[in-house]
């Protein structure tokens, strides 16, 4: 997409080229028509008007809120309800009209569409105010995270109807905040049954609501944040099931920490066939979100390996729990089962592709990932179900951590990928420094380790940049 900064620079340079005789008037006119150089000032004026309207709207909104707060207690309940509903409907109706109005000229569409999107986002925020004030008027008590979850679901319905990225992100933020607060306050047991089910099945809820929205809006960022929340929700919902010597705790721990990276690594849009649905916008390219999912899989695996590379993570047979009732709730396993089926189908397709293509360019490939995840699961099951192997488990997870780091460094060098190289270097240095700080070693040895890591990072970075420069010249 051509930015306004580029257009302004192009206009300055093309005028200089014209004055110096490098291009003629016909070529200058063609450039001006192609990049709409004559409309730069008008676009800037339209943006300035929108900013003024936005600031004026904020001040008017504050004035309305202040006026309502001053007279809220004196108004009747019916008038309050009429005012709230009128505000909600009016803001959303105005936003929808400006966003989709066909009567606007082409030069005005972009500016007014942005203003309409802003009003629709304000309508989503107004929905939360309506929910809070309506519940207060009718004396419906509840926790704050219940309000956030209901509010987020309402905004998600608006996002599905309008296909707006801004509303999708607002809904994802609200549901994420509500889910986080629900995990902190779950022991109170004050939530209603539907919201309890919503929290327990949060991975499926996020998958069904926000993954389609990411495809509809072609937003890689929305897909990435949705995938992160799915992985976090799987861990937070499954780990409590292994508390207080619950049956099959080792299997549950294995599922909790191996399913997220396995699901993300094997993810492919071909499993869903979104592009064949007439309602959905076509995806930018086949498997457009698979690279993002694989990067997040590496992050998830790195977190799990680093967390359990500490000896303290394996002390005791299980984790301590403050809520025994939570350990008896097995409903999150339904999400694990369904998402596990999706991951299994993805891995089957990966292995079929591996048979068709025998050449593997990367060291961290599907085979290595499957082996590492299988070994992780086996260690969890053996330690928690059969016999405690804390020292062996710590050693294995450290080996896997350093193997992953070295593999990422190797792939970064082979593919001239700075991101892979520096992620691997960071993981390697973090693992070394963590082991030096964890175990009782002398200060002199720690100083030498820090110095060696610092020198190694500097020399490796310089060597990597030199290698990339030589390869680009060839």
Residue 281 DSSP label: P
Measure CA 3 to chain center: 26
CA–CA separation, 244 vs 250, rounded Å?
12
Q: What is the rounded average pLDDT of the residues 143-153?
A: 88
Which residue, 250, 253, 221, 217, is CA-closest to 234? 253
| Kind plus residue range of the DSSP H or E element containing 295 | helix 290-307
Q: Quick: pLDDT tens for 37-75.
A: 777 677 676 667 667 766 776 777 677 767 777 777 777
DSSP line for 309-341: TSGGGGSSSS---S-HHHHT--THHHHHHHHHH
Which of residues 463 and 109 earns the better pLDDT score? 463
CA–CA separation, 236 vs 228, rounded Å?
12
pTM score, whole prediction: 0.79
Spatial neighbors of 257 by CB under 8 A, at least 6 apart, are 235, 304, 308, 376, 380
Residue 109 has pLDDT above 70, yes or no: no
Q: In 185-219, which residue ranges form alpha helices assigned H by DSSP?
A: 193-200, 202-217
Spatial neighbors of 337 by CB under 8 A, at least 6 apart, are none
* Across 47-61, 101-115, 275-289, least confident range: 275-289
Q: What's residue 441's pLDDT?
A: 64
Q: In 23-105, which residue ranges form alpha helices assigned H by DSSP?
A: 25-35, 40-71, 77-100
Indicate the pLDDT class of residue 78, thresholds 50, 70 and 90: confident
CA–CA separation, 268 vs 392, rounded Å?
35
Please, what is the end-to-end C-alpha distance for the chain in angstroms?
30
Q: What's residue 188's pLDDT?
A: 46
Indicate the pLDDT class of residue 222, thresholds 50, 70 and 90: very high
Please, how many CA atoms are within 13 Å of residue 203, restricted to the half-sphere of its CB? Answer: 26
CA–CA separation, 385 vs 248, rounded Å?
7
Tokens 């009209």 locate to 97
Indicate the pLDDT class of residue 173, thresholds 50, 70 and 90: very high
* Across 20-24, 295-299, 443-447, least confident range: 443-447
Which residue, 381, 246, 231, 256, is CA-closest to 320? 246
Give the phi and the psi of residue 211 in degrees, each rounded to 5: -65, -45
Q: Look up residue 82 and give its two tokens.
A: 């009429």
Q: What's residue 446's pLDDT?
A: 66
Q: What's residue 290's pLDDT?
A: 86
Which of residues 190 and 33 earns the better pLDDT score? 33
Which residue, 298, 264, 289, is CA-closest to 422? 298
Which of residues 100 and 270 earns the better pLDDT score? 100
Residue 243 DSSP label: S
Indicate the pLDDT class of residue 103, thresholds 50, 70 and 90: low
Give the SS3 label for residue 388: coil
Residue 6 has pLDDT above 60, yes or no: yes
Give the phi and the psi of residue 273 in degrees, each rounded to 5: 55, 45
Q: What is the rounded average pLDDT of the residues 133-139?
A: 77
Q: Quick: pLDDT tens for 354-394.
A: 665 544 567 788 888 999 999 999 999 888 888 888 888 88
Q: What whole-number percentage of the chain has pLDDT above 70?
A: 77
Residue 384 DSSP label: I
Q: What is the rounded average pLDDT of the residues 403-429?
A: 84
Tokens 């490796």 locate to 460
Indicate the pLDDT class of residue 423, thresholds 50, 70 and 90: confident
Q: Quick: pLDDT tens for 284-308.
A: 445 678 889 999 999 999 999 998 8
Q: Quick: pLDDT tens for 181-219.
A: 888 765 444 556 778 888 889 999 999 999 989 888 888
CA–CA separation, 164 vs 117, rounded Å?
8
Tokens 């820090």 locate to 450
Q: What's residue 88's pLDDT?
A: 86
Tokens 């900013």 locate to 51
Please give the mean pLDDT across all residues of the chain. 78
Q: Where are the domains of the chain?
A: 216-388
Which of residues 184 and 279 earns the better pLDDT score? 184
Measure CA 120 to chain center: 23
Q: What is the rounded average pLDDT of the residues 146-171?
A: 89
Residue 102 has pLDDT above 80, yes or no: no
Q: What's residue 377's pLDDT?
A: 92
Residue 319 has pLDDT above 50, yes or no: no
Residue 15 has pLDDT above 70, yes or no: yes
Whole-angstrom CA distances from 465 to 336, 365, 422, 452 are 43, 24, 11, 20
Which of residues 108 and 328 earns the better pLDDT score? 108
Tokens 């606007």 locate to 104
CA–CA separation, 357 vs 240, rounded Å?
41
CA–CA separation, 423 vs 409, rounded Å?
8
Residue 322 has pLDDT above 50, yes or no: no
CA–CA separation, 389 vs 397, rounded Å?
12
Angle at 332 between CA 206 and CA 365, to 5 degrees: 65
Residue 409 has pLDDT above 80, yes or no: yes
Q: Look up residue 346 and give its two tokens.
A: 């993805």
Give the phi and the psi of residue 246 in degrees, each rounded to 5: -70, 150
Q: What's residue 421's pLDDT?
A: 83
Which of residues 374 and 276 earns the better pLDDT score? 374
Q: What is the dihedral of CA 40, 46, 48, 54, to 10 degrees?
A: -150
Q: What's residue 54's pLDDT?
A: 66
């Amino acid at each position: 997409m051509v930015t306004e900064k580029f257009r302004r620079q192009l206009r300055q340079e093309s005028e200089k080229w014209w004055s110096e005789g490098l291009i003629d008037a016909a070529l200058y006119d063609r450039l001006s028509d192609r990049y709409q150089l004559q409309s730069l000032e008008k676009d800037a004026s339209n943006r300035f008007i929108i900013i003024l309207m936005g600031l004026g709207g904020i001040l008017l909104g504050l004035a309305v809120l202040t006026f309502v707060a001053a007279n809220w207690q004196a108004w009747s309940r019916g008038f309050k309800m009429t005012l709230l509903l009128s505000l909600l409907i009016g803001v959303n109706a105005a936003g929808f009209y400006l966003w989709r109005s066909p009567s606007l000229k082409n030069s005005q569409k972009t500016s007014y569409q942005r203003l309409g999107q802003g009003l629709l986002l304000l309508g989503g925020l107004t929905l939360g105010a309506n929910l809070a004030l309506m519940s207060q008027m009718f004396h419906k008590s509840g926790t704050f995270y219940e309000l956030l979850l209901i509010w987020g679901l309402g905004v998600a319905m608006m996002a599905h109807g309008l296909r707006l990225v801004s509303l999708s992100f607002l809904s994802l933020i609200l549901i994420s905040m509500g889910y986080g607060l629900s995990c902190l306050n779950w022991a109170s047991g004050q939530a209603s049954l539907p919201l309890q089910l919503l929290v327990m099945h949060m991975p499926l809820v996020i998958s069904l609501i926000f993954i389609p929205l990411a495809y509809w809006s072609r937003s890689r960022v929305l897909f990435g944040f949705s995938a992160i929340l799915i992985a976090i929700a799987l861990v937070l919902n499954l780990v409590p099931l292994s508390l207080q010597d619950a049956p099959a705790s080792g299997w549950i721990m294995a599922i909790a920490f191996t399913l997220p990276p396995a699901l993300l690594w094997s993810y492919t849009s071909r499993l869903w066939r979104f592009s064949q649905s007439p309602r959905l916008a076509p995806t930018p390219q086949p498997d457009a979100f698979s690279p993002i999912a694989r990067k997040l899989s590496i992050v998830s695996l790195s977190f799990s390996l680093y967390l359990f590379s500490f000896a303290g993570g394996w002390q005791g047979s299980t984790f301590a729990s403050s809520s025994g009732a939570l350990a008896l709730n097995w409903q999150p396993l339904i999400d694990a089962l369904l998402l596990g089926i999706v991951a299994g189908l993805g891995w089957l397709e990966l292995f079929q592709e591996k048979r068709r293509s025998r050449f593997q360019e990367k060291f961290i490939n599907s085979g290595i990932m499957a082996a590492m995840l299988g070994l992780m699961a086996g260690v969890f099951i053996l330690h928690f179900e059969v016999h405690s192997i804390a020292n062996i488990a710590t050693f294995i997870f450290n080996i896997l951590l350093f193997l992953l780091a070295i593999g990422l460094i190797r792939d970064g060098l082979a593919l001239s990928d700075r991101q892979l190289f520096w992620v691997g270097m960071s993981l390697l240095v973090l693992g070394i420094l963590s082991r030096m700080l964890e175990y009782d070693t002398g200060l002199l040895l720690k100083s030498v380790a820090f110095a060696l890591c610092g020198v190694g990072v500097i020399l490796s970075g310089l060597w990597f940049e030199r290698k990339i420069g030589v390869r680009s010249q060839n």
